[in-house]
Amino acid sequence: MKQVFSVVFLFLIVAIGYSQKKGGKQTIHNSVAEIQPDLNGYFKPVKWRNIGPFRGGRSVTSSGVIGQPLVYYMGTTGGGVWKTSNAGLTWTNISDGFFKTGSVGAVAVSESDPNVVFVGMGEHAPRGVMTSYGDGVYKSTDAGKTWIKVGLDLTRSISYIRIHPKNPDIVYVGAQGALHGAGTDRGVYRSTDGGITWKKLLYVDENTGCADLSMDMNNPRILYAAMWDYRRTPWQMRSGGKGSGLYKSTDGGDSWTKLENGLPKEMGKMSISVSRANSDKVYALIESDTEKEQGGLFVSSDAGKSWSRISKDHRLVQRAWYYIEVFADPQNENIVYVLNSPGLKSIDGGRTWSNIHGTHGDYHQLWINPNNNKNMVISNDGGAAVTFDDGDVWSEQSTQPTAQFYRVNADNLFPYNVYGGQQDNTSVMIASRVTNGYSISEKNWFYSAGGESAFLAFNPDDPRYVMGGSYQGTIDVLDKQSGETKPIMVSPVQYQALQPKDMKYRFNWNAPIICSRFEPSTFYHGGNKVFKTTNLGKTWEVISPDLTKHDTSKMGISGFPIQMKEQAGELLYNFIYPGILFRKGSYLDRKR
């Protein structure tokens, strides 16, 4: 069985400049590019090999193929596009060598010609340190065997692609746009020549992009667009503003009408879905002011002319910047799905909800076969999974080597071990090779300390004890000899409902932890202050003042102007950022 693997590493450069003495003089190199030839020569004999783990990483888009129930495509947030021809038993990467970037935001397959596949680059769930931008749209006309670039290079993040059900040359792209700054390359685009040329149809302003795009498949001239005014900065997640709104077109996108009757005045991120079973039934999932209970699931029974809120269940809109996805069943207008941390399904038009079970959590997209609504493929933080029985059983996600790792570390043993924390999974320790002649497999993968966002710190010469972190300052230490894990938080409180200004200490989602290179029994940990332990976390010493600006204006309930009440720490600020403790010659290296 042919397997193609994709591994993505993220390097954080915390100091520039490189010193080298030549003939008694010191030469200063101001960039990595000046020393790159030496590095290339050093690493040229080294060959990459995959050591695992073979478990899926985050996917925000996937699609099935009408008439081919065994074929599915999956877009990953760091490893390109993958395809299965056996309903998810095995997956193969089909974008390596063609794509210039690896983060995929949208995959769409033509209903009238299944050989035509469009892919939009740049994931649309705006995480902080883990969101990579894309470089436009790619197209295949041979079911993914080969690809060509077809433009929209500067859209950065593409949320959805919709293809006309009868004409594969008519394509619509919802461009969410740049995450960290303003830009005019966002909005709704259309091509009528298969991607050769594009026309921008709906543009609000430089801060507002298209978060969702829905097509009436019974009348593809009718389109609905969810426009989102947003920005992520190092100190804030801004969601909502004057640009946010829902729009409708009845002429293929040439003109648009803003939908307002019955909708909240203040709106953040939104998703919209028109029922294929009844084109007059349209669902809209809307983030709005939580305190005033204005958000939730809205429904229109007159094709968007008027709206009423059908559910204010908070599970539908929690952590909106990461989720907010609604999907109407193509065969039953009263069946609707909402994807969030849980996957939720309603069979009464959104009044009551049940949970989707059987796959990894943190759900992002759902494709439902229009000819068989029991056949679906779902994307989540564990990859993609296929079902043929309405979600009772899903395909495995352990055959997708698409894991995202925050960082890697290695010890000095022989063979050495590689350590890392996998996004939305456990941390792992993996042997670099085995000595019995067999290949590396699951028996050589071990859970390590901490959780998904772990910094893993240890004495590289004697890594019996591994200290690992997780969000909100959680730390534990693993004794690899006994297998025992102990919690050793600096302050044994995981602040889940407190404003940062009221916290004793503040920690990044992946707060830094390092082992001293001079005193292997000494570990440092960074919050808003620096902490030190010499007894594996039995006690911690505060060795610095508050090193942040302690700006209380950025230490309230997270999110602006719509408050999000982020629970896991992804939107906390005023702390020591990962990387600051690694600077060579830093204060921590000198203090012994």
Average pLDDT for 333-356: 97
- Sheet strands side by side (includes 445-447): 405-410, 417-422, 427-431, 445-447
How many beta carbons lie within 10 A of that of residue 569, not counting itself? 24
Residue 16 has pLDDT above 70, yes or no: no
Res. 18 pLDDT band, cuts 50 70 90: very low
- % of the chain surpassing 90 pLDDT: 69
Secondary structure (DSSP) of 512-560: -EEE-SS-TT-EEEESSSEEEESSTTSS-EE-S---S---GGGSSSSSE
The residue whose two tokens read 């925000």 is 60
**What whole-number distance in Å separates Cα of residue 429 and Cα of residue 458?**
12
**SS3 assignment, position 470:** coil
**SS3 assignment, position 588:** helix
**SS3 assignment, position 5:** coil
- Rounded to 5°, angle at Cα 299 from 371 and 254: 75
Buried b (16+ CB within 10 A) or exposed e, 61-77: bbbbbbeeeebbbbbbb
> pLDDT digit string (tens) for 558-586?
777 887 766 566 777 788 877 644 434 44
The amino acid present at 77, given as its one-letter code, is: T
Average pLDDT for 429-455: 87
**What whole-number distance in Å separates Cα of residue 203 and Cα of residue 159?**
15
> pLDDT digit string (tens) for 53-83?
888 999 999 999 999 999 999 999 989 999 9
Strand 137-140 with 59-65, pairing:
unpaired
Helix (H) or strand (E) holding 408: strand 405-410
Task: Output the CA–CA distances (angstroms, integers) from residue 365 to 17, 125, 346, 383, 509, in the order listed.
Answer: 44, 11, 16, 11, 24
**What whole-number distance in Å separates Cα of residue 467 and Cα of residue 482?**
15
> pLDDT digit string (tens) for 519-560?
999 999 999 999 999 999 999 999 999 998 888 888 877 777
Up-side HSE of residue 297: CA atoms within 13 Å toward CB? 28
Q: What is the pLDDT of residue 48?
A: 86
Q: What is the pLDDT of residue 248?
A: 98
How many beta carbons lie within 10 A of that of residue 455, not counting itself? 28
Q: Are 581 and 573 in contact (CB under 8 A)?
A: no
Res. 444 pLDDT band, cuts 50 70 90: confident
Q: Is the preceding omega at residue 561 within 30 degrees of 0, hence cis?
A: yes
Q: Are 424 and 453 in contact (CB under 8 A)?
A: no
Q: What is the pLDDT of residue 586?
A: 40
Q: What is the pLDDT of residue 34?
A: 46
Cross-strand pairs, 343: 339
Which residue in 561, 425, 539, 557 sits closest to 477, CA to CA?
539
Four-residue CA torsion sign, 316, 317, 323, 327? positive
> pLDDT digit string (tens) for 488-511?
999 887 776 678 888 889 888 888
- Rounded to 5°, angle at Cα 485 from 53 and 421: 30
Is 0.75 surpassed by the pTM of this model? yes
Which residue in 164, 166, 59 sits closest to 102, CA to CA?
59
Q: What is the pLDDT of residue 3?
A: 38
Q: What is the pLDDT of residue 510?
A: 84
Which residue in 84, 250, 81, 252 sits closest to 166, CA to CA?
252
* Two tokens, residue 103: 């983060």
Res. 410 pLDDT band, cuts 50 70 90: very high
Please give the torsion angle defined by the CA atoms of residues 119, 123, 125 and 127, in that order, rounded to the nearest 10 degrees: 170
Average pLDDT for 220-238: 92
